[in-house]
């Protein structure tokens, strides 16, 4: 229990760290209205930066959050965003991400099973070509090719297309790890023993091999969740989805400093939440994960 709490605390501390780091980075920008004649930012915009970030105020770093709490608009004029809108966009992006995670798990098991089946055939090279294709393809390329057919279609098709596209790389990545884990486990003595006692291949796989493969699989979901959310930036932009990724890109392009600070922190919060949930699932699947590691004991 103590080990679980220590791990949770280590994850949760990342949220204020990211909040302070992103705020610090923005505040460090030379926002003073300098005397340079070539200065491109208007005094109004500079004043709004200062106001939004609470520069010079005590506990100024809480200013963007205070504005959100009071229901005020973050950012300048009509390009800003309220807390309610931000939450709605974040929820929509997370929903697309959850669909993508489901797709990724499906691709992973499908890829792993196909690769295991083909590993001794003359088609075994496919198992090497598919990851190279997946890793070498940024999300925006298939999104660009698909966009003309799905953007105007509606009926959640753009959302499903985005989820499908951003799940390809993570799915193949998880599948490659699954293949390695399956191959390691299938070579162990307990598999031979179970088979020699008369269990069918599917029974051996489901009852004995899968429980030993799942911990590795769950450990890989964390980085995959990061990749899924990162992929959503490009996919949402190309497929015209007005959600969190789109909001973030526009905030950066339009220099909405306070929106960038809040969105970065919320993003880190979502990722930490995902990691905590994975940690809990890991502890449930593998009792060894509940024990403290050597570092935690020390």
Partner 1 sequence: MSEPVSSPRQSLLSGAGLLLLLWGSSFALSVLWPTAVAEHCPLGKDVLRPDRSVCELAFGGTWISLSIGLLAGAAATLVGLLVASLARGLGRWIDAALMRSADALFALPDVLVLMVLQFAAQTAADLHPRLRIGPVPLMVASLAMVGWAAPARQFRDRLDTLERAEFVGAAHALGAGRWHLFGWHLWPFLRDYVLAVFLARVPAAILAESTVSFLGIGKVEPMSLGRYLGTSYASLLHGEGARVVLPAWLLLILIVIGATLAGRGA
CB of 70 to partner 1, least distance (A): 25
Q: Which of 102, 138, 242, 292 binds partner 1 (CB under 8 A)?
A: 138
Q: Which of 7, 22, 115, 179 binds partner 1 (CB under 8 A)?
A: 22
Instruction: Please answer whether residues 48 and 76 qualify as being in contact, where contact means their C-beta atoms are separated by less than 8 angstroms.
Output: yes
- From residue 259 to residue 288, the character string flagging contacts with partner 1 as x (rule: CB under 8 A) and all else as - is -x---x--xx--xx--x-------------
Instruction: Give the Cα separation of 170 and 223 in Å (integer).
Output: 9
Instruction: Give the Cα separation of 164 and 101 in Å (integer).
Output: 9
29 is an interface residue for partner 1 by CB under 8 A: yes
Per residue in 266-283, is it b (16+ CB within 10 Å) or e — as a string?
bbbbbbbebbeebbeebb
206 is an interface residue for partner 1 by CB under 8 A: no
Q: Tokens 């990061």 belong to which residue? A: 226
Q: Tokens 């797709």 belong to which residue? A: 103
Instruction: Give the Cα separation of 157 and 206 in Å (integer).
Output: 34
Instruction: Give the Cα separation of 167 and 11 in Å (integer).
Output: 25
The span of 104-112, 130-138, 194-202, 282-290 binding partner 1 (CB under 8 A) equals: 130-138
- For the chain, the C-alpha Rg in angstroms (whole number) is 24
The span of 50-58, 100-108, 229-237, 277-285 binding partner 1 (CB under 8 A) equals: 229-237
- From residue 66 to residue 105, the character string flagging contacts with partner 1 as x (rule: CB under 8 A) and all else as - is ----------------------------------------
Q: 281, 276, 292, 270: which is closest to 218 by C-alpha?
A: 281
Q: Which residues bind to partner 1, rule: CB under 8 A?
A: 10, 13-14, 17-18, 21-22, 25-26, 28-31, 34, 36, 38-41, 119-120, 132-133, 135-141, 144-145, 147-148, 226-227, 229-230, 233-234, 237-238, 248-249, 252-253, 255, 260, 264, 267-268, 271-272, 275
């Amino acid at each position: 229990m103590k080990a679980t709490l220590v791990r949770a605390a280590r994850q949760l501390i990342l949220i204020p760290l990211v909040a302070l780091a992103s705020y610090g980075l923005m505040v460090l920008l030379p926002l003073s209205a300098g005397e340079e004649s070539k200065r491109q930012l208007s005094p109004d915009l500079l004043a709004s930066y200062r106001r939004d970030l609470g520069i010079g105020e005590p506990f100024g770093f809480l200013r963007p959050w205070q504005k959100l709490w009071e229901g005020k608009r973050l950012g300048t004029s009509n390009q800003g965003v309220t807390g309610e809108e931000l939450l709605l966009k974040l929820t929509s992006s997370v929903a697309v991400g959850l669909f993508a995670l489901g797709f990724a798990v499906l691709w992973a098991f499908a890829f792993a099973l196909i690769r295991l089946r083909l590993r001794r055939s003359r088609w075994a090279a496919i198992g090497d070509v598919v990851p190279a294709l997946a890793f070498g393809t940024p999300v925006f390329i298939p999104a660009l090719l698909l966009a003309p057919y799905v953007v105007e279609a509606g009926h959640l098709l753009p959302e499903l297309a985005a989820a499908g596209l951003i799940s390809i790389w993570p799915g193949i990545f998880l599948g490659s790890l699954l293949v390695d884990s399956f191959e390691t486990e299938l070579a162990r003595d307990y598999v031979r023993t179970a088979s020699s006692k008369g269990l069918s291949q599917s029974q051996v796989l489901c009852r004995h091999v899968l429980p030993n493969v799942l911990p590795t699989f769950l450990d890989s979901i964390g980085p995959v969740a990061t990749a899924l959310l990162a992929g959503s930036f490009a996919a949402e932009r190309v497929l015209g989805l007005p959600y969190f990724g789109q909001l973030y890109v526009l905030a950066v392009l339009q220099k909405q400093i306070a929106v960038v600070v809040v969105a970065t922190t919320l993003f880190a919060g979502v990722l930490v939440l995902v990691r905590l949930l994975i940690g809990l699932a890991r502890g449930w699947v593998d009792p060894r994960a509940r024990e403290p590691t050597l570092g935690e004991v020390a």
